[in-house]
């Protein structure tokens, strides 16, 4: 009989617990987010008061990879535990709106998971009414965390908040925590919505020192002692500091650890880190840029430069075309026409480097086409594209 391909694979050379580096892991501690935790506790503690039933609506916004999701998950988990310990009937519900993209699917999910109600066949209004009835009947408080909330419209989010109007004046049972990137939030925000948000936490990107603290903490959970030397840790922090993004460093640790493990090494060398670095954003296959024409590379660079400014999440064709003209000049190239630039944008979209989509942002504000990067930090994109442009010009 042929040997089973997994037979050999049981030994962990470097990992104490590799799960702690996976995206779904929520650490017990969130170093460098103490102030934000305190602010959330301050806002949500009222939900633990047996004497009052009110709803709280909060927003957590900021750049990618800086702990918004983790902070929200940890907060609602602890809130639920505290409620249980104090005899308060409170349930929390975390929804990633990338998975459940409409108000209807979210309502059905809550109905099914929390109340075992089959939501099919009911209108949104009927579902909202059923949920409100159950909350009242069971004397239940619920906290709904809506992550990646920009998939919904501001109007959809308001519909959840408005559920509380079905209760007597002054009473509320459904609280919300809305989580999204900051610029998306600004686009989604309307006067009626902002009027309902009690507090908004704007999380900043991490500094180099903060990343060192966070990544050392995560390395202690994941690896045996001495697997990562001080020098290698500095290298990881260095890479991560460019994007101020903790996920960046954590993914590099996971991948470099897997490489070390596969090769039977008991330490992670700088070489494993460098190899992992090029893989952390798989959308950025290292060969994808080599096939691009110079004008397409310059278009990518223009978009990258705009999106690398802090707080800028998306751009438009007009704005990026202006930048494209400047970038072309910088490299001694005659700028192409806007029509040609549009064709470049189409190509980049097909390759999965950018997303260029018309999305309904908020009914009141009309529709607009936005150019975004697919999960690739702009800084990394710039670095790589600049290298390819240099080698093309030297050919």
Ligand X SMILES: Nc1ncnc2c1ncn2[C@@H]1O[C@H](COP(=O)(O)OP(=O)(O)OP(=O)(O)O)[C@@H](O)[C@H]1O
Span of 67-75, 99-107, 182-190, 333-341 interacting with Mg ion by CB under 5 A: 67-75
| Interface with ligand X, residue 236, by CB under 6 A | no
Residue corresponding to tokens 């460019």: 242
| Rounded Cα–Cα distance for residues 272 and 223 (Å) | 15
Tokens matching residue 100 = 């459940």
| Interface with ligand X, residue 384, by CB under 6 A | no
Strand partners, 355: 372
Q: Which residues contact 203 (CB under 8 A, 6 or more apart)?
A: 33, 36, 60, 61, 62, 63, 66, 67, 68, 71
| Interface with Mg ion, residue 150, by CB under 5 A | no
Work out which of 18, 91, 181, 255 binds ligand X, going by CB under 6 A.
181
| Interface with ligand X, residue 154, by CB under 6 A | no
| Closer CB to ligand X, 138 or 216, in the complex | 216
Span of 242-250, 258-266, 296-304, 335-343 interacting with ligand X by CB under 6 A: 242-250
CB 153 to Mg ion: min, Å: 19
Q: Under a CB-based contact definition with an 8 Å cutoff, are residues 149 and 116 in contact?
A: no
| Closer CB to ligand X, 24 or 231, in the complex | 24
Strands 174-180 and 57-62: parallel
Q: Under a CB-based contact definition with an 8 Å cutoff, are residues 136 and 167 in contact?
A: yes
| Interface with ligand X, residue 61, by CB under 6 A | no
Work out which of 145, 246, 353, 381 binds ligand X, going by CB under 6 A.
246
Span 66-105, contacts to ligand X by CB under 6 A: 66-70
| Closer CB to ligand X, 244 or 295, in the complex | 244
Q: Which alpha helices (DSSP H) does the chain contain, by range?
A: 34-44, 68-85, 103-115, 124-137, 154-162, 182-188, 191-196, 208-222, 230-241, 246-262, 270-277, 294-307, 317-330, 338-350, 378-394
Which value, in Å, is the radius of gyration of the alpha carbons in the chain? Answer: 24
CB 131 to ligand X: min, Å: 26
Helix (H, G, I), strand (E, B) or coil at 10: coil
Tell me the residue number closest to Mg ion, measured at CB: 69
Tell me the residue number closest to ligand X, measured at CB: 67
| Interface with Mg ion, residue 243, by CB under 5 A | no
Instruction: State the residues that interact with Mg ion by CB under 5 A.
Output: 69
Instruction: State the residues that interact with ligand X by CB under 6 A.
Output: 23, 27, 30-33, 64-70, 181, 214, 218, 246-247, 250
């Amino acid at each position: 009989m042929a040997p089973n391909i997994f037979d050999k694979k049981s030994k962990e050379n470097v990992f104490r617990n590799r799960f702690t580096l996976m995206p779904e892991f929520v650490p017990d501690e969130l170093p460098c987010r103490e102030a934000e935790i305190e602010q959330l506790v301050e806002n949500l503690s009222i939900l633990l008061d047996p004497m009052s039933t009110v709803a709280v609506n909060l927003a957590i916004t900021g750049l990618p990879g800086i702990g918004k999701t983790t902070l929200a998950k940890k907060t609602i988990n602890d809130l639920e535990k505290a409620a249980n310990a104090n005899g308060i009937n409170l349930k929390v519900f975390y929804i990633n709106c990338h998975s459940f993209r409409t108000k209807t699917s979210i309502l059905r999910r809550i109905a099914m998971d929390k109340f075992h109600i089959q939501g099919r066949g009911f209108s949104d209004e009927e579902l909202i009414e059923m949920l409100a009835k159950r909350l009242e009947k069971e004397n239940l408080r619920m906290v709904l965390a809506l992550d990646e909330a920009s998939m919904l419209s501001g109007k959809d989010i308001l519909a959840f908040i408005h559920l509380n109007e079905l209760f007597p004046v002054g009473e509320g049972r459904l609280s919300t925590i809305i989580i999204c990137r900051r610029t998306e939030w600004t686009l989604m925000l309307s006067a009626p919505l902002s009027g309902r948000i009690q507090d908004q936490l704007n999380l900043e990107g991490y500094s180099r020192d903060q990343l060192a603290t966070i990544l050392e903490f995560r390395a202690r959970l994941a690896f045996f002692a001495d697997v990562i030397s001080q020098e290698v840790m500095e290298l990881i922090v260095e890479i991560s500091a460019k994007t101020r993004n903790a996920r960046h460093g954590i993914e590099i640790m996971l991948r470099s650890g897997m490489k070390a493990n596969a090769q039977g090494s008991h330490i992670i060398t700088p070489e494993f880190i460098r190899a992992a670095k090029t893989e952390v954003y798989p959308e950025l296959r290292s060969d994808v840029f080599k096939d691009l024409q110079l004008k397409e590379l310059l278009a990518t660079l223009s978009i990258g430069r705009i999106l690398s400014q802090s707080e800028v999440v998306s751009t438009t064709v007009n704005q990026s075309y202006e930048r494209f003209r400047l970038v072309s000049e910088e490299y001694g190239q005659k700028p192409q026409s806007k029509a040609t630039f549009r064709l470049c944008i189409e190509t980049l979209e097909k390759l999965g480097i950018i997303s260029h989509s018309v999305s309904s942002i908020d009914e009141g504000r009309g529709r607009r086409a936005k150019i975004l990067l697919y999960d690739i930090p702009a800084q990394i994109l710039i670095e790589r594209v600049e290298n390819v442009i240099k080698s093309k010009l030297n050919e």
